[in-house]
Amino acid sequence: MKNDPPNIFDPPAAPLPGLLCPACRRLNDQAEAADFSNAKPSPGDLSVCIYCGEFATYTEGLRLKLLTEDDFSRLPHANKLELLHAKKFVFKIRRQKL
């Protein structure tokens, strides 16, 4: 149905070249926008690793760079909350798959 919420388990909209998480070194080859749109990552966008939950940001070359504590502290409050909710969701998914 048109008004149904998106199915978060559908294949992500944006396939990516083989990007490794800068924290756990696992392959992150797909991305999903927080609003479930078909938006592809752009430089400066934030990311949460689906395997370890660490935060990263996309560089100018669309590589992932670990988000430092200092980087995180400078983010707007809304972005911090969005990342923390995403991390919580990642850990919930990981627990269900164990």
Burial class (CB in 10 A: 0-12, 13-18, 19+), 20: middle
**84: its two tokens:** 């923390």
Residue boundaries of the structural domains of the chain: 14-97
User: pLDDT-derived band of residue 1, with 50, 70 and 90 as boundaries?
Assistant: very low
pLDDT in tens, 19-75: 899 999 999 888 777 776 767 888 999 999 989 999 999 999 889 999 999 999 999
Classified as helix, coil or strand, 51 is coil
User: pLDDT-derived band of residue 77, with 50, 70 and 90 as boundaries?
Assistant: very high
CA distance 34 to 4: 16
Q: Choose among 29, 34, 32, 25: nearest CA to 16.
A: 29
